[in-house]
Chain A
Amino acid sequence: GIQVEQSPPDLILQEGANSTLRCNFSDSVNNLQWFHQNPWGQLINLFYIPSGTKQNGRLSATTVATERYSLLYISSSQTTDSGVYFCAVGASGTYKYIFGTGTRLKVLA
């Protein structure tokens, strides 16, 4: 089945810094989402982005489906950005999501 790898696994930033999180996948996909898992365990939808670029405030995401990767950019990070970021992909011919192993982000005040 499709493999989804995220990097880096852990990231520590000072408040105000920028960061780029990466998601690589091993096969073509029809669906891709980025989530933020908050300290209460809830999965917060950030972007649905099977291709192209989207922006929402300080966050933006780009997926290059032909090269099998997606990037999540966080600018001017805040302590509330801390948590785990997951990408989830839906491979061709299937409805389910396969999640990556996540990037654990800690933003220090």
Chain B
Amino acid sequence: EPEVTQTPSHQVTQMGQEVILRCVPISNHLYFYWYRQILGQKVEFLVSFYNNEISEKSEIFDDQFSVERPDGSNFTLKIRSTKLEDSAMYFCAGRESSYNEQFFGPGTRLTVL
């Protein structure tokens, strides 16, 4: 069964550094998402991406964040200058259409020191 993959599984970085989190969605999916979960809290929406552009973003997704689908398979989340409060689990998700289930990747745990 196809699944969403994410790399790396765990990333440790210094405050102020740039990080890129990578996701490979399921091949026939058209809608893509990034969510994050701070330890012990609920999962929060960051951004949705459809037809090569952002379709919706949350207040968390400020100018420090960007997303890209550079080659038709990878879907990336970049944080330009990480802050301590960016430490969280980041999940990538995708779906075929806007009215069926979202499939989540296993997550990347980001630790900012």
Contacts and interface: CB of A to CB of B under 8 A. Distances in A.
A43 interface: yes
Given A41-B109, A43-B104, A95-B56, A88 B43 contact: yes
Interface in A10-51: 30-31, 33, 35, 40-43, 45, 48, 50
Q: Report, as a range, how many residues of chain B touch the other chain.
A: 20 to 34
B106 A42 contact: yes
B102 interface: yes
A96 B48 contact: yes
B39 to A, nearest CB: 9
Interface stretch (B14-22, B62-70, B71-79, B93-101): B93-101
Nearest to B50: A95
Interface string B6-39: 0000000000000000000000000101010100
B105 to A, nearest CB: 9
Contact of B89 (A41, A99, A101): A41
Interface string B102-113: 111011010000
Contacts of B99: 30-31, 50
B111 to A, nearest CB: 13
Interface residues of A, number: 23
A100 to B, nearest CB: 7
Contacts of A31: 98-102
A48 B42 CA distance: 19
B89 A97 contact: no
Contact of B31 (A41, A48, A86, A95): A95
26 contacts: A31-B100, A31-B101, A33-B102, A35-B104, A41-B37, A41-B106, A42-B106, A43-B43, A43-B104, A45-B101, A45-B103, A50-B99, A86-B42, A88-B43, A88-B102, A90-B98, A94-B56, A95-B55, A96-B33, A96-B58, A97-B35, A97-B93, A98-B45, A99-B35, A99-B44, A102-B42
Interface of B: 31, 33, 35, 37, 42-45, 48, 50, 55-56, 58, 89, 91, 93, 98-104, 106-107, 109
